[in-house]
Amino acid sequence: MSERETLTIDTLEEVKIASVATSQSEETKNEKLIVFGEMLLAKSKSLLLAALGLVIFGGLWELLSSITKDALPGPIATLTVLYDMISDPFYDYGPNDKGIGLQLFNSIKTVLLGFFLGSLVAIPVGILMGASTICKQIFYPIVQLLKPVSPLAWFPIGLVVFKDTGLATIFIVFITSLWSTLINTSFGIASLPQDHKNVAKAFGFSKMRYLTKILIPFSLPHIITGLRLSISVAWLVIVAGEMLSGGAGIGFFVWDSWNALSLEKVISAIIIIGVVGLLFDKLFTYIENKVAYKA
């Protein structure tokens, strides 16, 4: 054994460990406090600015309302109606008069179902396109051709195929949900670095281990980003889709309120649509952060 070599290493390590140990406890405490304080400050500042934005928005809205001589209902009138809507969300007085909660529930159900079916197709096809150049060459032109088409254009086809407006609405959400997920998934899979592949090759990873420990963890953030974009667009499309299909949902509610000349209800619905869209986005951003990793 080489005494000198090991000796040098040991002393080196000891010095390192000693210096780390003494400074660590106090410093981390102080650092944590400072970080927490800064975070609090930044949070309250951003909240304040957001509130300021809302006040400016409300002011402009009020101004516009008074210019149009209340043809456009002002914030107070609208919020009163919104409050009424929210306080009794689940009443059901027949097919044309349902509470906002029921309508919303209907829309969310449709979106989730279409989105789920779309993802079920988009993720595997995306993986195939990312993993194989041949698959990409087969599918990519179709994707490029169909992606820019407004999902509403698919509505008549849905009607013909399913002979049911509800199913046709799910169908257009399905189509909408495909593209972002498909493209992001295939990009994620295709951009797997050679380094990671080399690890699998050098240490003889099985197919299963390669899939679960390398390919999926690597591409998951890309896939979730795709899903987040997809559900945002799906939520955009559902309103228009339900205006076409009628009968149920938040889109139908907007259209119905317009026909009943209740702009307060229309604006209230817009606010609700915005909030739900925001919540969807937040949910997926949360999942995105959960699966993200630092290279």
Partner 1 sequence: MSYLEIKDLEISFPTPKGKYIAVRDINLSIQKGEIISIIGHSGCGKSTILNAIAGMLTPSAGSVVLNNQSIKGPGPDRGIVFQNYSLLPWLTVYQNIFQVVDSVMEGTATEKHEIVEKNLKMVNLFEHKDKLPGQLSGGMKQRVAIARAFAINPGVLLMDEPFGALDALTKGSMQLEVLKLWNLDNREKTIVMITHDIEEALFLSDRIIVLNNGPSSTIREIVEVHLPRPRNKIEIVKMPEYIDLRDKLLHLLTDKFSIEDMGMVYKG
Nearer to partner 1, 135 or 214 (CB): 214
- Measured from the Cβ of residue 87, the count of other Cβ atoms closer than 10 Å reads 8
| Helices 155-162/165-190 angle, 10° precision | 120
Nearer to partner 1, 69 or 207 (CB): 207
Find the shortest distance in angstroms from Cβ 163 to partner 1: 47
Nearer to partner 1, 76 or 292 (CB): 292
Residues 6 or more apart whose CB falls under 8 angstroms from that of 233 comprise 151, 176, 177, 180
Find the shortest distance in angstroms from Cβ 102 to partner 1: 42
Structure tokens at 181: 């997920």
Find the shortest distance in angstroms from Cβ 213 to partner 1: 5
Nearer to partner 1, 281 or 288 (CB): 288
Could you give the CA distance from residue 118 to residue 176 in angstroms, rounded to a whole number? 8
Find the shortest distance in angstroms from Cβ 47 to partner 1: 30
Closest CA to 102 of 245, 243, 253, 262: 253
Could you give the CA distance from residue 124 to residue 61 in angstroms, rounded to a whole number? 46
According to CB under 8 A, which residues from 7 to 36 bind partner 1?
8-9, 12-13
Look at the block and give the residue holding tokens 């934005």: 53
According to CB under 8 A, which residues from 174 to 233 bind partner 1?
195-196, 198-199, 201-206, 209, 213-214, 217-218
Find the shortest distance in angstroms from Cβ 292 to partner 1: 9
Find the shortest distance in angstroms from Cβ 15 to partner 1: 11
Nearer to partner 1, 219 or 268 (CB): 219
Q: How many residues bind partner 1 (CB under 8 A)?
A: 28
Could you give the CA distance from residue 90 to residue 1 in angstroms, rounded to a whole number? 81
Cα 7 to Cα 11, 16, 204, 278, distances in angstroms: 6, 14, 37, 61
Find the shortest distance in angstroms from Cβ 32 to partner 1: 16
Per CB under 8 A, 5 contacts partner 1: yes
Find the shortest distance in angstroms from Cβ 9 to partner 1: 5
Per CB under 8 A, 6 contacts partner 1: yes
According to CB under 8 A, which residues from 251 to 290 bind partner 1?
none
Nearer to partner 1, 141 or 193 (CB): 193
Structure tokens at 91: 């009443």
Closest CA to 126 of 53, 240, 229: 229
- Measured from the Cβ of residue 10, the count of other Cβ atoms closer than 10 Å reads 10
Q: b/e for 274-293, b at 16 or more Cβ within 10 A? A: eebbeebeeebeebbeeeee
Q: Using the rule CB under 8 A, which residue among 25, 142, 163, 293 binds partner 1?
A: 293
Nearer to partner 1, 77 or 216 (CB): 216
Per CB under 8 A, 2 contacts partner 1: yes
Is 92 strand, coil or helix?
strand
Nearer to partner 1, 2 or 25 (CB): 2
Q: Give the interface with partner 1 as residue ranges (CB under 8 A).
A: 1-6, 8-9, 12-13, 195-196, 198-199, 201-206, 209, 213-214, 217-218, 293-295
